[in-house]
Amino acid sequence: MTDSAVSEREVSRDAYEAVLRVVDLQTTDRQPPGARVSTIVRLLSSRFSRERVERALETARSNDDLEAWPDQRGRSR
């Protein structure tokens, strides 16, 4: 693998792990069930682009590390 491919893979892994951490921290007994996608994106916006976070969320869902459902207002959690 080239250096850029390794770097891209590391950034993707970092984004994936950051998404899981944010979701974990945002789903406590004091919070409503689930974390909104917009909240996750906002909290990670200083480190990752919206597209990168959304890809990490999709990957986590396809790996069964996260679940998604619409809340009562139709927002994805």
For the stretch 26-67, pLDDT in tens is 988 887 778 889 999 999 999 999 999 999 999 999 999 998
pLDDT at 75: 77
What is the rounded distance in angstroms from the CA atom of residue 52 to the CA atom of residue 46? 12
In angstroms, the first-to-last Cα distance of the chain is: 36
User: With contact defined as beta carbons under 8 Å apart, do 34 and 71 qualify?
Assistant: yes
Query: What's the pTM?
Result: 0.83
